[in-house]
Amino acid sequence: MTLSPLDEYPIHQAPISMRHVATSDRNFYDRYYFNAHPSTDELFAVFSIGQYPNLGVQDGFLMVADATDHRVVRASRALTLDRMDTSCGPLRIEVVEPLQVVRVVCEEGDRGLACDMTWTGAIPAHEEPGQVMRLNERQTFDSMRYAQTGRWEGWLEVAGTRHEVTPDHWWGSRDRSWGIRPVGEPEPPGIQGARPLEGFYWIYCPMQFDEFSILCIYQDQPDGSPVVRQAVRVWPDGRTDDLGTPTIDIRFEEGTRNALGATWHLTDEGKPLDIDVEVLLPVHLSKATGYGSEPDWRHGMWQGDLVVQDLHFDLTDPEVLASIWGIKESVSRFTCGEHVGHGLFEWLLIGRHDPSGWTGW
């Protein structure tokens, strides 16, 4: 039997059952991502669930980190024929109102983390430019995504301490993305073993202010040529202002690629518009969550019919710090003229980047 419950609805895009996707590319994925923070440097939480139909896997995680502790509950299971089932062990997502209200849950237990939080969008979901990349003629990225800023309500429990989550200052951003990107077990390297990826320069920044939100993306090829550039201001009523092609100056910790802050340079109706970024709490998103930095747990990797793990890392331990690399994101404060807001500043700056003078890893 190939039918699924979704086949009852008139939403087909290809002459196949909705349990399958139109491409046979093993790297097809379909994922939710949410972050939550109290608009301070107190803590940062990320909740994600993804499906990998051509790998037969569904997985997810809840990560909560502060300056000294990094905690993760992660789960992986076999993907069933019902792709509307967004549960994975103790984790689940419930769509209350599409594109606007979503509930995320990590069930209580002896795992150190639990939550029951409801997200409400502060702006309409915004469709971002597609991300398309090739390496040695193979298409390695071909994905689309929508982004949204919003507010949270509910509770979050961390190591026995319950945080009451209220929408007055518990803010965040989310994205829904799907398409093709590297997932699952490593593939045979082939030509990529001889001609590997030389670098990845990515900056992603959804900012939320009381009256509006600003969404910025900046991605380069190793030679500095653009992959994606966008800067928009989105109002709660759906009005969207193009803020030109963004540029950015990043302030780094000396001798590293660790960002301490930045200044975005945008344009508003032809006039310069600068936004200052202050990093409040940087977080290692890739640690134990599946973003490719560890060989035993990657998004879409087969772990078994159902595996649930609870992990805790002491960020004051030099051995733990030495094991961490990859994408980082942070709760940040943004100053745009008289407006002060909070949100996400995310960066992955590895390998060669000619405009920065970086030549290697």
* 235 token code pair: 């109002």
Q: Which structural domain range is residue 250 located in?
A: 29-183+195-356
What secondary structure does DSSP assign to 73-130, as a single string? EEEEEE--S-TT--EETTEEEEEEETTTEEEEEE--SSSSEEEEEEEEESS--EEPPP
Q: Does the residue 252 lie in any domain?
A: yes
Full pLDDT tens readout for the chain, 361 residues: 688 899 999 999 999 999 899 999 999 999 999 999 999 999 999 999 999 999 999 999 999 999 999 999 999 999 998 999 999 999 999 999 999 999 999 999 989 999 999 999 999 999 999 999 999 999 999 999 999 999 999 999 999 999 999 999 999 999 999 999 999 999 998 999 999 999 999 999 999 999 999 999 999 999 999 999 999 999 999 999 999 999 999 999 999 999 999 999 999 999 999 999 999 999 999 999 999 888 999 999 999 999 999 999 999 999 999 999 899 999 999 999 999 999 999 999 999 999 999 998 8
**Paired sense of beta strands 339-351 and 199-208, if any:** antiparallel
Return the pLDDT at 195.
Answer: 94
Q: Does the residue 17 lie in any domain?
A: no
Q: Does the residue 286 lie in any domain?
A: yes
Residue 58 vs residues 4, 91, 184, 304: alpha-carbon distances, Å: 16, 11, 11, 11
Q: Does the residue 43 lie in any domain?
A: yes
Return the pLDDT at 292.
Answer: 84
Q: Does the residue 148 lie in any domain?
A: yes
Q: Does the residue 22 lie in any domain?
A: no
The H or E element that residue 319 is part of is: helix 318-322
| Separation between Cα atoms, residue 159 and residue 71, nearest integer Å | 9
Say if residues 163 and 156 touch (Cβ distance below 8 Å): yes
The amino acid at 300: G
- Report the DSSP beta bridge partners of residue 220: 201, 226
Residue 317 neighbours by CB under 8 Å, 6+ apart: none
Q: Does the residue 162 lie in any domain?
A: yes
| Separation between Cα atoms, residue 104 and residue 308, nearest integer Å | 17
Q: Does the residue 7 lie in any domain?
A: no
Write down the pTM of the prediction. 0.96
* Number of domains composing the chain: 1
Return the pLDDT at 1.
Answer: 60
